Amino acid sequence: MKSREGKYPPPDDLARLIRHWMTIWPNAQITSERMKQLYPYILRKWREGWTLAQIAQTACSCNDGQNIAPSPAALKVVPTRRLSLSPTGAVPGQTFGSDEIRDAGSVSRLKLQAEIAELKAKSIGTEIEILYRRMRGATESVRAKLEEQRQRLVSQLDQQKKQAEAATARLAELESTGRLSAVGRKPKAKKEPVQKAEPATPKPARQKRPAKAANPAPATPVQAPSPPPAASMNAVEDTIAKLYEDD
C-alpha cells in the first residue's frame, strides 16, 4: 500500500496485537527482544495493507509436516474495543513487550474494583478472627454482643466476596468478547425532569403621578378706577348758561 510506505503502525495498535497473543498464550514470553524479531514481519504485512488485528490472527501451524491448521490466535476474534495502550511516550516504529503495555481505562477500573473488594474482604476476615479470640474467654452477656458483631461482619464479608467475583467475571467477559453486558452494572439514577418555573405575573405599570402645579404668583390687586376729577362750580354754571343761549 503506497500510502503506508515509509510509515509505521500506531503503537496502540501494536499493544492490541500483543494483548491478543497474551490472551491466547498466557505463558508465552512476548518480551521486547522477541517483538524486535517479529516486528519486520509485522511491519511488512502492515505496509501491504493488513491491519494489526488481521496480522494477530494469521498464525498457522503445521506440526506434523502434513496438515496445516489455524492456530488458536487465528480462531479467536480480536476484540474491536481497545483493551490495551502502548507505553507512555511510545512512537511509531518502537517495539515493546507485554510487560510494558498498559491497561485501557475499562480494564483498569474492573481490576481495581476486584482488588479493593478483595482487600476489604481480607480486612473483614481479620476482624472476624479477632472476635473469635475475644469470645473464648468472654462472659455470656459479652459473648452475645460479640456474636452480633460477628454476624454483621460475616454479612459484609459475603458482600465483598460477591463484588470481587462480579468484577473478575466482568473482566473475563470484556477480555473475551470486547463487550460488557448490562448485568452487574449499577443502574443509573433517573434524573427528575426539571420543571420550568412559570413566568412571573408582570406587575402593573406604575402610573405617573400628575405633576404638581406650580404655585401661582400672587394676583396683583386690581385698582378701582379713580373717580373723575370733580368739576368746578364755575364750569357747571357756564354749561347751564349755554343751554339757554338759543332762547
| Beta carbons within 10 angstroms of residue 79's beta carbon | 18
Residues 73 and 22 in one domain: yes
Q: What distances in angstroms separate CA 234 from CA 230, 237, 241, one per listed residue?
A: 12, 5, 11
Domain hosting 117: range is 105-177
- Taking alpha carbons only, the member of 167, 151, 171, 83 closest to residue 119 is 167
Query: What is the pLDDT, as a whole number, of residue 161?
Result: 95
- Taking alpha carbons only, the member of 79, 163, 157 closest to residue 114 is 163
Q: What distances in angstroms separate CA 188 from CA 104, 112, 182, 185, 191, one per listed residue?
A: 23, 20, 11, 9, 9
In a domain, 31, yes or no: yes
Residues 114 and 67 in one domain: no
Average pLDDT (108-133) is: 94
- Taking alpha carbons only, the member of 65, 110, 60 closest to residue 83 is 110
207-228 tens-digit pLDDT: 666 666 555 555 555 565 555 5
In a domain, 155, yes or no: yes
The count of domains in the chain is 2
Residue 95, classed as helix, strand or coil, is coil
pLDDT band for 152, please (50, 70, 90 cuts).
very high
In a domain, 34, yes or no: yes
Say how far apart CA 180 and CA 172 lie, in whole Å.
10
Does the pLDDT value for residue 134 go beyond 80?
yes
Quote the mean pLDDT of the chain: 79
Residue 55 CA neighbour count, 13 Å, CB half: 23
12-65 tens-digit pLDDT: 999 988 988 888 888 888 889 888 888 888 888 899 888 888 888 776 665 665
Average pLDDT (138-152) is: 90
Does the pLDDT value for residue 116 go beyond 80?
yes
Query: What is the pLDDT, as a whole number, of residue 200?
Result: 62
Q: Of 49, 70, 103, which marks where a domain is finished?
A: 103
Q: Of 177, 198, 218, which marks where a domain is finished?
A: 177
Does the pLDDT value for residue 206 go beyond 60?
yes
Does the pLDDT value for residue 68 go beyond 60?
no
Q: Of 103, 132, 159, which marks where a domain is finished?
A: 103
Query: What is the pLDDT, as a whole number, of residue 247?
Result: 47
Residue 233, classed as helix, strand or coil, is helix
